């Protein structure tokens, strides 16, 4: 009698963090980090109020852009509504 073992092959489902899936987790993390860095630079140069407004001004639009790109799909696909006619590359000889 043979023993049968199940092989564990990773997560078995897509990686999801909060509302971001797959590669968009990294996009969201990059948006947060870029907002924090730009807000920190602005607050060190000007004031803390300007730094907070710059941080929010960078983070929120970039997160909204990430959410919109995720909604469109994992891969950027062009949706053509045209009809393409492709000529055959072979020729019949009689």
Strand partners, 16: 21
pLDDT at 89: 79
Lowest-pLDDT range, 7-11, 45-49, 66-70? 7-11
The verdict on pTM exceeding 0.85 is no
Nearest-angstrom CA–CA distance, 93 and 1: 65
């Amino acid at each position: 009698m043979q023993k049968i073992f199940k092989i564990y092959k990773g997560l078995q489902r897509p990686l999801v963090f909060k509302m971001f899936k797959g590669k968009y987790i990294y996009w969201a993390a990059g948006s947060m980090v870029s907002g924090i860095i730009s807000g920190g630079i602005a607050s060190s140069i000007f004031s803390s109020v300007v730094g907070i407004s710059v941080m929010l001004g960078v983070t929120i639009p970039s997160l909204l852009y990430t959410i919109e790109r995720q909604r469109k799909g994992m891969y950027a696909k062009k949706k053509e509504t045209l009809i393409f006619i492709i000529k055959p590359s072979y020729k019949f000889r009689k």
